[in-house]
């Protein structure tokens, strides 16, 4: 089976990120958490099994974001669900424009959609307002023996309570020009940090006559990449104790990660890139133009690269997870989807059954991965796909096995939206601030924002 790089996926990932920026406003909406009249209660304690119920004569409403799941995959889930419960499913495909306001408004009504396709980093903002059903007591049953990816589960877990179920993932990995590396004498992808830097040194030496060339193009504002260094060193954006968040860039481990990022960025990327982000100029275009041999990007970037330079064949390109100084792959920040259930749903038992089915190993294998080409929601799912995933794409699947996400705080989106974290990494890369000074500035602002009411 060949892994599909679906053209619509980069749009959904980018729009999912943009939509998250509007959640600061969404968090201001007061959404009361109501149980659903005899169905599964929010915040219930203990371990429970997802109930089996008759849905004859009932209709479950499911919101799916455009560009996420294909109609065939949703139809397959619904067919099995209807055969099991007798209930019908009303699927409503949602557009990305103004989606946060639309979801917040819908969840506040007495008749919200029962199940919603949510961005993994969006979950906390809705859960903070009581808009999503607490799924904690059903977690073990919903997992179905699987180990969910940390980058999907962590942002859906607020104060040790689960509010959404992982659906699929997208991960960043190193994309490299295999032909360029081969000319430098490198025939296999590196698996350790020392191997990576040694390979990049060889590439640099082989291309020293190319103007403005960088062995690894890594813009200073690219905080998704920078966080991989911080996480690899054991640092965190912020940690929670009780109801209080504490930003963590000033910690010794995070400081080591920032120093590692600066060293790598300054050594292997261009000086001009120290104050840039990934979009202007687009790092995919720089790669396609032969101005770099490697970038850190999502799998959809492969298509953009080949569109910009059709002469680059699939055999010219490869991917691998970024090796960390820790001896493991650097933790990757996942994008992706979680399924949430409205707290005010009148059909929570059916919603739980539908969600359990949609995230089951069989649906993940045959449809979410097999048909749609997404990275499955669990480590077991990724390992099961290992034998069939195209080598062209394998690095992204491997990278997802070690993943992280942003703080599960309803206030995170507003903090990300003002680009304070982008500026933190830019200051470190450019040297306009020391890592300690940059961390102190960010941590102070983050502590205020994350703990605001």
* Residue 45 pLDDT grade (very low, low, confident, very high; cuts 50, 70, 90): low
Determine what percent of the chain falls in helix, strand and coil, rounding each to the nearest 5: 45, 15, 40
CB distance 119 to 22 below 8 Å = no
Q: What is the pLDDT of residue 391?
A: 86
Mean pLDDT of 421-448: 97
The per-residue pLDDT for range 394-428, each reduced to its tens digit, is 999 999 999 998 999 888 888 888 899 999 999 99
Mean pLDDT of 122-139: 93
User: What tokens appear for 442 in the block?
Assistant: 């960010």
Its sign, for the CA torsion 168, 171, 177, 178, is negative
Domains defined along the chain, listed by start: 59-170+334-404 (3.40.190.10), 171-333+407-451 (3.40.190.10)
Report the share of the chain in percent with pLDDT over 70: 90
Q: What is the pLDDT of residue 334?
A: 92
Which of 30-39, 136-145, 181-190, 384-393 has the lowest average pLDDT?
A: 30-39
The 3-state secondary structure of 92-149, one letter per residue: EEECCCCHHHHHHHHHHCCCCCCEEEEECCCHHHHHHCCCECCCHHHHHHHHCCCCEC
d(CA 223, CA 423): 9
The per-residue pLDDT for range 154-192, each reduced to its tens digit, is 999 998 999 999 999 999 999 999 999 999 999 999 999
Is the pLDDT at 42 greater than 60? The verdict is no
Is the pLDDT at 386 greater than 80? The verdict is yes
| CB count in 10 Å sphere of residue 49 | 12
Strand 115-119 and strand 59-65: the pairing is: parallel
Q: Is 86 exposed, middle or buried (0-12, 13-18, 19+ CB in 10 A)?
A: middle
Q: What is the pLDDT of residue 209?
A: 92
| pTM of the predicted structure, to 2 decimals | 0.88
Q: What is the pLDDT of residue 320?
A: 97
Q: What is the pLDDT of residue 31?
A: 34
* Residue 128 pLDDT grade (very low, low, confident, very high; cuts 50, 70, 90): confident
Chain-centroid distance, C-alpha 8: 16
Chain-centroid distance, C-alpha 18: 13
Residue with the two structure tokens 């040194």:
201
User: What tokens appear for 344 in the block?
Assistant: 């005010």
């Amino acid at each position: 089976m060949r892994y599909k790089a679906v053209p619509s996926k980069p749009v959904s990932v980018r729009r999912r990120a943009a939509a998250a920026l509007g959640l600061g406003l969404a968090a201001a909406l007061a959404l009361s958490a109501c149980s659903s009249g005899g169905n599964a209660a929010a915040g219930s304690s203990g371990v429970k099994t997802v109930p089996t119920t008759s849905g004859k004569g009932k209709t479950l409403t499911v919101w799916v974001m455009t560009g996420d799941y294909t109609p065939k995959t949703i139809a397959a889930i619904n067919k099995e669900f209807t055969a099991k419960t007798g209930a019908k499913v009303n699927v409503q495909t949602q557009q990305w424009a103004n989606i946060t306001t639309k979801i917040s408004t819908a969840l506040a009504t007495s008749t919200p959609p029962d199940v919603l396709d949510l961005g993994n980093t969006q979950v906390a903002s809705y859960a903070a307002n009581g808009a999503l059903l607490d799924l904690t007591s059903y977690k073990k049953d919903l997992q179905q023996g699987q180990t969910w990816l940390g980058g999907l589960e962590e942002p859906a877990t607020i104060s040790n309570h689960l509010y959404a179920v992982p659906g699929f993932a997208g991960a960043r990995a190193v994309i490299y020009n295999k032909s360029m590396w081969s000319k430098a004498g490198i025939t296999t992808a590196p698996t350790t940090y020392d191997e990576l830097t040694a390979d990049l040194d060889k590439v640099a030496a082989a291309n020293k006559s190319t103007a403005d060339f960088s062995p690894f193009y890594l813009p200073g504002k690219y905080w998704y990449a920078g966080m991989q260094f911080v996480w690899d060193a054991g640092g965190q954006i912020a940690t929670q104790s009780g109801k209080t968040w504490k930003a963590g860039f000033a910690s010794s481990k995070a400081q080591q990660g920032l120093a590692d990022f600066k060293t790598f960025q300054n050594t292997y990327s261009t000086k001009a890139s120290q104050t840039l982000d990934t979009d202007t100029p687009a790092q995919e275009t720089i790669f396609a133009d032969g101005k770099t041999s490697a970038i850190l990007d999502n799998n959809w970037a492969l298509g953009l690269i080949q569109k910009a330079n059709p002469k680059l064949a699939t055999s010219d390109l490869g991917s691998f997870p970024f090796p960390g100084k820790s001896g493991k792959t650097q933790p990757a920040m996942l994008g992706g989807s979680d399924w949430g259930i409205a707290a005010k749903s009148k059909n929570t038992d059916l919603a739980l059954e539908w969600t359990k089915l949609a995230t089951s190993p069989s649906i993940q294998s045959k449809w979410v991965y097999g048909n749609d080409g997404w990275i499955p929601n669990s480590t077991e799912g990724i390992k099961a796909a290992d034998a069939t995933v195209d080598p062209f794409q394998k690095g992204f699947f491997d990278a997802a096995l070690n993943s992280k996400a942003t703080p599960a705080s309803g206030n995170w989106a507003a903090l990300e939206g003002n680009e304070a974290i982008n500026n933190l990494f830019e200051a470190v890369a450019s040297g306009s601030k020391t890592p300690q000074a940059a961390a102190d500035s960010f941590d102070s602002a983050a502590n205020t924002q994350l703990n605001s009411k």
